[in-house]
């Protein structure tokens, strides 16, 4: 019989990864808690654009990289989770198969992207000018482009509200505003974590603290190669229909919402844990938006913000059990793809934590993998 403050699994970090794993585990009958230093779902998970790029279907996984397989699994699960969350909570996370257009950042990179998507069996339609203009009249002329009808998006804040509600409905206890400061251990097992309101005990622990995972790990006596990369975004207030599809140009994007708002992003800056926006960077984003789609130059800026993406040296997430402990798991370091990969990550991690062989191997994402050691040299 479990004590009141003891759980099957304690998840440290209440972003989209932690909440998704908690919900998946709770649906499997596990007694779960989430320990969050601030408010659940209010950091990088809330700040992103909500894009779900197209990934390979299962029959093409044989030629896909581990990250591409995870993306393909996650894309399929997002459709299912949208319906399940809506049914369980009544909250619509705004899932929309809007499709996307890719424009050249440079012609070589666009051609490589196009070729790789075809190899992975992703439906791609080449667009020449004026075909791209016919599909999206607001776009400026471009030498080449391609359309991905299968790319989709969700509204981050709504998705996170739905996850919190679903966790609550399934008995997940969320400890908000309680930073973990230390841990209790015994013979390579973590037995508890310390918070301002006292210890929380569990059979297993999972670290999902995003950009703060490295700081947290140091407090608990081990190392994780995770560091923050700031991404700034501007939100434009427009009328419906100016853009209908996501527009991707290298690492930057325009994401139209169904209500007419348009997200413009994003920067990539290694500035530590600084979440302030910068006038020069925002001006650069607005100039980018106006160059890609000239009508956007006349829209007003409704809001700007910045989020901290959790990065690793090799830009792959850390997924799996920590070698220093027999019962501590890691799920962090998703960089720019946390929300995108959250569904697949949740299912695979819930399998591993529950003692079930995951559908995809977690070995390429192991927290102590060789590539991380090489990057550190």
pLDDT at 44: 64
Q: What is the pLDDT of residue 336?
A: 92
The pLDDT score that the predictor gives to residue 373 is: 58
Low-confidence spans in the chain with pLDDT less than 70: 1-5, 42-46, 106-108, 371, 373-377
Q: Given the structure tokens 């993406």, which residue do they identify?
A: 309
**Structure confidence at residue 377 (pLDDT):** 40
Residues in CB range of 159: below 8 A, 6 or more apart: 16, 50, 85, 93, 94, 339
**Among 23, 1, 5, CA closest to 191:** 5
Q: Distance between CA atoms of 366 and 211, rounded to whole angstroms? A: 18
Burial group, residue 254, by CB count within 10 angstroms (0-12, 13-18, 19+): buried
Candidates 331, 341, 290; CA nearest to 9 is: 331
pLDDT at residue number 2: 39
pLDDT value of position 3: 42
Structural Rg of the chain based on CA atoms: 21
pTM (two decimals): 0.94
Q: How far is CA 4 from the centre of its chain?
A: 32
Name residue, tokens 């909500």: 50
Two tokens, residue 229: 């990369």
């Amino acid at each position: 019989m479990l004590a009141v403050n003891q759980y099957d699994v304690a998840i440290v970090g209440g972003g989209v990864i932690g909440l998704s794993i908690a919900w998946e585990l709770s649906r499997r009958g596990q007694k779960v808690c989430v320990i969050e230093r601030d408010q659940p779902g209010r950091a990088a998970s809330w700040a992103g654009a909500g894009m779900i790029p197209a990934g390979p279907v299962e029959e093409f996984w044989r030629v896909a990289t581990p990250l591409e397989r995870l993306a393909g699994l996650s894309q399929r699960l997002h459709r299912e989770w949208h319906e399940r969350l809506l049914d369980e909570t009544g909250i619509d996370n705004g899932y929309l198969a809007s499709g996307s257009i890719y424009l050249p950042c440079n012609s070589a990179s666009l051609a490589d992207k196009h070729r790789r998507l075809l190899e992975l069996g992703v439906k791609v339609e080449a667009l020449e000018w004026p075909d791209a203009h016919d599909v999206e009249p607001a776009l400026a002329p471009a030498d080449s482009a391609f359309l991905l009808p299968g790319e989709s998006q969700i509204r981050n804040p709504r998705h996170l509200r739905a996850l919190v509600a679903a966790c609550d409905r399934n008995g997940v206890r969320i400890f908000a505003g309680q930073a973990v400061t230390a841990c209790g251990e015994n013979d390579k097992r973590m037995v508890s974590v310390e918070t301002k309101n006292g210890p929380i005990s569990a059979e297993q622990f999972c670290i999902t603290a995003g950009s703060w995972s490295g700081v947290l790990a140091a407090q608990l006596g081990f190392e994780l190669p995770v560091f923050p990369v700031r991404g700034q975004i501007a939100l434009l207030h427009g009328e419906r229909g100016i853009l209908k599809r996501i527009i991707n140009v290298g690492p930057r994007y325009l994401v139209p919402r169904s209500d007419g708002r348009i997200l413009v992003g994003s920067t990539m800056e290694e500035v530590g844990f600084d979440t302030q926006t910068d006038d020069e960077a925002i001006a650069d984003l607005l100039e980018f938006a106006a160059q890609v789609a000239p009508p956007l130059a006349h829209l007003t800026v409704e809001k700007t913000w910045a989020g901290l993406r959790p990065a690793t040296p090799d830009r792959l997430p850390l997924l799996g059990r920590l070698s220093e402990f027999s019962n501590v798991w890691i799920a962090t370091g998703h960089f720019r793809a946390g929300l995108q990969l959250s569904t697949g990550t949740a299912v695979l991690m819930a399998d591993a934590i529950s003692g079930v062989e995951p559908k995809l191997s977690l070995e390429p994402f192991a927290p102590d993998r060789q590539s991380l050691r090489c990057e550190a040299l």
